[in-house]
Structure 1
Amino acid sequence: MKYRVIKNNDLFLMTDHYGNIQGDLQGGLYTKDMRFLSKLELTINGKRPLLLSSAADENFVARIRMTNEHEEEDGKVRLWRESLELIRERFIYGDVLYETISMMNYSTKTISFDLGMAFDADYSDMFLVRGFQPAEELGKVTERKMDDNGWHTVYMGVDGVRRETAIAWDSKPDQIAESGKVLFQINLEPAKARQITFTISPSIDGNYPTTQPREVALQELQASYERWGNNHTKVDSDSPVLNRLYDRGVQDLRVLLSDFGYGLFPVAGLPWYAVPFGRDSLIAALQMLPLNPEVARGTLKMMAAYQGDELNPWKDEQPGKIMHEMRSGELARSGQVPFAPYYGSIDSTPLFVVLAAEYAHWTGDLDTIAGLMPNIERAFTWMDQHGDRDNDGMVEYYQESSKGIANQGWKDSADSVIHANGEFAIAPIALVEVQGYVYQAKSRLAPIVEKLGFEALAKRLREEIALLKNKFEGAFWMPEEQFYAIALDGNKEQVRSVTSNPGHLLMSDIISAERAQQVAQRLVASDMFGGYGIRTMSSGSTGYNPMSYHDGSVWPHDNSLALLGMSRMGFKEEASTVISGLLKAAEHFEYTRLPELFCGYDDTIGYPVSYPVACSPQAWAAGTSVSIIQAILGIRPDAPNGKVSLDPFLPGNVNRLTVRDLPVAGGTLSVKLTRNTGTDTVHAEILDNSSGCRVEIVGQTAEVQRN
């Protein structure tokens, strides 16, 4: 990564590798989609120190180690090179940024130098930072003041919100400047050290965060991560890269969790999407079911709270629709962009029901589903009415908002739905994977609502999926490709590109076993699989570009959904190929972290090629590590009926895997997989089972220990 980012709850900091925020970069301290700190520059005698190391591998703490360059004045040494060690350690806790500058003299003589820190706050909306040009006047900074104790600014937005930034330091400075620069004259004897701690506190409408002593705040933050580590599913294998990838994914998911008043909720990714999303957050919560089902519950409640209520073309909103993205910055609050929230997503609504159904099957928590039934029924109504504009039985999208999104599936770039002749598809567009989501939502929820006493609804859902399944095949199957088209365009013509989208169908049961196998095999063929993962588009399709956002790149989450389907359908060889590719890719990325996406070049290059503006960490990329474990276990819980089935395999180069404390049905399950010597078969051993469910292992008898 070309930046360093840390986050806690709804506050995050993005800097360069030196730990600085500079005016020509997009770095800053952000909360509620606004930048509360736009400049943070450390200097030694007016110069930037030399970088030794820069790390933010813990997500919540960043440590940057630096030293000084050689300085002479009038032929005399002012500061001998590398005589000073500087360590910048920063973390966020309680909506406050803490930064401590530690200075150590490693020379044999006393050294003197000026430590400077410069600040500024421009209160730019996230849309402005990313290049949006507003048509209306924005707010203004109305107050700036600085004294020996700190620096303070006030911004009055056109949305009527008062935003403030307060910076304090624990040592008296020798010089201060109203422009926002503070200077400390430091004298250090040999082997002596000194620290200065800064606290930076953003506030909105007078709601000031509480600043704690630094050590107390750090201890409480570390304790919260330890609790997270102790309470989630543990994974250990004989594959170091699989272990690192899983641990990294779990850490990244923790830092991306926020609570907006409804429980734990995964924001989409850092740095630009640390906000509630529909599709992204729903898929991340779905991936996290084997890790922490509470996240799914919080996500469902959050989505229900912001479900569409009215016909509002400006926001692409209709009754019953689940939101796409919610922003809370000045532009959104003042109505200059339609994102408070915006509803331009065709798949968020069926994915909301998919998550509800899978959560129920995983946990057996029917009370939560019963409480969400009004929202679920409204979602079904939206799918059948507003989602199906022409009553052809397919769900399609059409942009109504002048500042909305044209392509409203997960591949939402303007060139992502492209015909074989190179022309972009015209709306309304029915995406292939969305029909699978609708089928999965209705088929998986039908037995749940039946248990809740909604027999008529269950009967209707089963009738509707039977009709959809019949229509789907004829509409999307391309006989000459032996594959499914990515979409139907506004003229009901197939968009005949070979893409990764049909891989999502493998989760849904909408296609036959024979055609599912054809899909799985094509996804790992050379035109779709370059060695590091499934490409978003076949290298043989007209629009293919390995450097593109959606037309040839590799998205880990896209692979993860295909993986879950491959595992469920029993396509273990194909699943093993995909997992092995993702593991090989992860080895090349910083911290063994799969980014949001990377370029789709073949592995003949020798390494995966990074995509320049990919989010990292990113929720559904991090969730891919959990999906890999779920796919390997072949686990399929049916908690309402007291059953769990396993159909495990081990990918190449993995011969042993132990999964402990996997949450199922209100209890936990621990499983050990071992490859049988000299074969590709796997033995599964149930180490512990407090779920209350009967465990069935395909091909062998489950010996279940109970607490």
Structure 2
Amino acid sequence: MDYRVIKEGDLFFLTDVHGDVTGNDEAGHGLYTQDTRFLSRMEMLIDGEKPTLLASEGTKGYFASIRSMKVSKDEGAIEMLRERYIQGGILHERVSLTNFFPGEVRFDFAAAFDADFQDMFIVRKYRTGDVGEIVDRDIGPSGMSIRYRGKDEIERETQVAWDCAEAAQAGPDGCFHFAVSLAPKETKRICFTVTPVIAGKVPEARSFEDGLALLEQSYDSWRAETTGVASDVPAFDEIYRRGVTDVRMLMTDIGYGDVPVAGLPWFAVPFGRDSLITSLFMLPLNAGKVRGTLRTLAATQGEKTDPWRDERPGKIMHEIRFGELVQTGQSPFGPYYGTVDATPLFLVVLGEYVRWTGDAALAEELKPNVLRALAWIDENAGGTEGGFLSYRQEAEKGFPNQGWKDSSNSIVHETGEYASSPIALSEVQGYAYQAKKTLAPIFRLLGDVELADRLEQEAAALQARFEEAYWMEDERFYAIALDEDARQVRSVSSNPGHLLMSGLPERSRAESVARRLVSEDMFNGYGVRTMSTQATGYYPMSYHNGSVWPHDNGMILLGLGKLGLKQEAGRVITGLLDASSHFEYRRLPELFCGYGSSESDGPVPYPTTCSPQAWAAATSFAFVQAMLGIDPNVPERKIALNPFLPEGFGELTVSRLPVGQGHLTVKLVRTPGQDDYGKVRIEVVDNTTGCELQIQE
């Protein structure tokens, strides 16, 4: 990556690899919270020069270190080590200056700061707007503050302070100069803090050491509460541990419990679809962590008809923002509801959460939200001929396409013509089917037999309609969508791969879809492409029409695992593991280009991908679910297992897998000399779930 980013809570810091924020508006670097940039410049200089970069590390995700030096021929160097993290709403940066000259040195160390308080949409050039102004700058020898009054009448302030024995000489441009004198091998440290203040609320300050200790403890607790893995494939163990750390970093609480934000740097807010798919992947990590997502989305559920925000009663939001443009009504993202899939996915995740935990009380708590969501689904299933859940853009500044492939060219006929709305996506019908099938027994358990019966009847009717309307017999595959005239959009794409987890497709057709997904035109050696190379709209460098998205593959894996399609699942897992070796820290990015493995030495990066991205980070959790072939049903006290190991795996131990009120620890060992793909012996090390294990050999 050509940037460094750290995050904790609602605060994240984006810099260049040198650790600086130089005011380059094209890059958008800065310190952000509540969709506002609270730091637009932060540079460290020695004798007026930027030191030479030696190393820039962000392995942990929540902690970064940048090592650089100012050298004088071969005589020696001044080393500068910058270490930073965020804790308690405050950015901490410790600068260590070390003398590696043979004699004493004196030099000027300078730190420059500024803040512009721009709304993130303005920084990214997505919007313009009427905004406030900076009203005060207070600069002193031990710190500075910059205050801003927005058009929303909210006062925002950036406070910069440092801990240093020497007083700084403050320049009028926000550049502070420290006269440093160092004996040979002597080190001096300066600890800086940058504190965003909104409406006068100042976070509690801590020392660098104390704040870092608290942050590390929180990560230790997270790891202790989540499922552990150990295999004989180091690449898998590394990508899994990376996912555990990154998902923790991406958690945020806006008042209803922790929820994974979509990704960094530009999507550090709760989303409907992204947060829900990440949470679906998190169920085998720790299903209890999913409650915050469900409560957050229930609390922001649509209440009225508002075309400005694509809002309808019962609809689950697409995205929520908190910046000045939203607060003043200049942007519809407070929240924006332009998504067709978040509402059925909300119901899917709730149903799967109860199956993993047995916590039917949450379903009872959220029943009013469930009923409103179901009403919205049923109301909008009249948008196309035949009664399928569809979308059309209403908000002037909203999205023309409102599935997960939301770029304007993503739904394209084989003629090259873009589909006209209302559009009914195939995978969305699968989500609606799965939601109703999964929730029916839960509400029967809660005593609402009438609702349960209705949901089951509606699911069966949807299944029959879907098979007739979407199946393309000549392709042995499902159409990506139906358009406004109920015509099939006949592009072969990855979307129908999501149907496999829903249970909607007839078995032989599901197997046909699975085989096509890993065939040469759809599988590029590293993952399933978003579109077939044979499709009219295929373009390997596109965002949605030929690229590879790890989370898309993860959704496919959930279905392959449920159906016991082990060869196909193994190929997807092996491909993504291979891809991960080509990315920094084995961190799967948001997406990469669709070129095949024969066309390049590794996956071709997509130029503007976000990383870390929550649903990409969580994809490794879907690997575990698929390899175990696990399908828990805690309300019925059963856990089905149909395990396998992909090629290259000899064994896998999954520890402390939370199910129900207990945990499951199992070990898979490849059985030699068997014809069946990935045949394993399963050892149950520990089972405190209270559920019967039903193991398919």
Equivalent residue runs for 1:202-241 within 5 Å? 202-241=196-235
Q: Identify the residue that residue 324 of structure 1 maps to in structure 2.
A: 318
Q: Identify the residue that residue 689 of structure 2 maps to in structure 1.
A: 691
Q: Distance in 1 between matches of 2:466 and 2:390?
A: 13
Query: 1:613 offset after TM fit, Å?
Result: 1.1
Q: Distance in 1 between matches of 2:570 and 2:77?
A: 52
Correspondence for 1:30 among 8, 29, 32: 32
- Show structure 1 runs of 5+ residues with no match: 72-79, 700-707
Q: Distance in 2 between matches of 1:238 and 1:147?
A: 57
Q: Does 2:687 correspond to 1:677?
A: no
Letter in structure 1 aligned against 2:687 = N
Correspondence for 1:144 among 137, 148, 156: 137
Contact 1:67 1:82 in 2 (8 A): no
Secondary structure of the corresponding residue to residue 515 of structure 2? helix
Q: Identify the residue that residue 399 of structure 1 maps to in structure 2.
A: 393
Correspondence for 1:52 among 51, 54, 59: 54
Q: Identify the residue that residue 513 of structure 1 maps to in structure 2.
A: 507
Equivalent residue runs for 1:175-254 within 5 Å? 175-254=169-248
Query: 1:113 offset after TM fit, Å?
Result: 1.2
Report the number of matched residues. Answer: 690
Q: Identify the residue that residue 637 of structure 1 maps to in structure 2.
A: 632
Query: 1:130 offset after TM fit, Å?
Result: 1.1
1:287-345 deviations in Å (ceiling 9; x for gaps): 10111212211111111101111000001000000000000001111111100000000
1:169-204 deviations in Å (ceiling 9; x for gaps): 112434211221101111111011100010000011
Q: Identify the residue that residue 109 of structure 1 maps to in structure 2.
A: 103
Greater mean alpha carbon deviation, residues 682-691 or residues 378-387: 378-387
Q: Distance in 2 between matches of 1:642 and 1:545?
A: 47
Contact 2:381 2:387 in 1 (8 A): no
- Show structure 2 runs of 5+ residues with no match: none
Correspondence for 1:70 among 53, 69, 72: 72
Query: 1:156 offset after TM fit, Å?
Result: 0.7
Greater mean alpha carbon deviation, residues 196-205 or residues 380-389: 380-389
Query: 1:658 offset after TM fit, Å?
Result: 0.1
Query: 1:469 offset after TM fit, Å?
Result: 0.7
Q: Does 2:259 correspond to 1:256?
A: no
Q: Distance in 1 between matches of 2:178 and 2:64?
A: 23
TM-score (structure 1 length as normaliser): 0.96
Contact 1:318 1:386 in 2 (8 A): no
TM-score (structure 2 length as normaliser): 0.98
Letter in structure 2 aligned against 1:33 = D
Correspondence for 1:462 among 456, 464, 471: 456
Q: Does 2:166 correspond to 1:168?
A: no
Q: Give RMSD over aligned pairs.
A: 1.0
Q: Identify the residue that residue 89 of structure 1 maps to in structure 2.
A: 83
Contact 1:387 1:397 in 2 (8 A): no
Q: Does 2:658 correspond to 1:658?
A: no
Q: Does 2:622 correspond to 1:627?
A: yes
Secondary structure of the corresponding residue to residue 628 of structure 1? helix
Query: 1:131 offset after TM fit, Å?
Result: 1.0
Correspondence for 2:406 among 391, 404, 412: 412
Query: 1:560 offset after TM fit, Å?
Result: 0.4
Equivalent residue runs for 1:380-529 within 5 Å? 380-390=374-384, 392-529=386-523
Q: Distance in 2 between matches of 1:112 and 1:537?
A: 61
Contact 1:144 1:178 in 2 (8 A): no
Q: Distance in 2 between matches of 1:580 and 1:390?
A: 39
Q: Distance in 2 between matches of 1:133 and 1:592?
A: 34
Contact 2:385 2:486 in 1 (8 A): no
1:241-273 deviations in Å (ceiling 9; x for gaps): 000000000000000011112112100000000
Q: After TM superposition, where is structure 1 displaced by more than 2 Å over at least 4 residues in a row?
A: 386-392
Contact 1:671 1:686 in 2 (8 A): yes
Distance 1:22 1:387, change over 3 A: farther
Q: Distance in 2 between matches of 1:180 and 1:661?
A: 51
Distance 1:387 1:205, change over 3 A: farther
Correspondence for 1:594 among 588, 591, 611: 588
Q: Does 2:349 correspond to 1:355?
A: yes
Secondary structure of the corresponding residue to residue 268 of structure 1? strand
Equivalent residue runs for 1:533-544 within 5 Å? 533-544=527-538
Query: 1:391 offset after TM fit, Å?
Result: 6.8
Contact 2:384 2:483 in 1 (8 A): no
Percent identity reads: 51
Q: Distance in 2 between matches of 1:388 and 1:182?
A: 64
Q: Distance in 2 between matches of 1:279 and 1:459?
A: 28
Contact 2:112 2:175 in 1 (8 A): yes
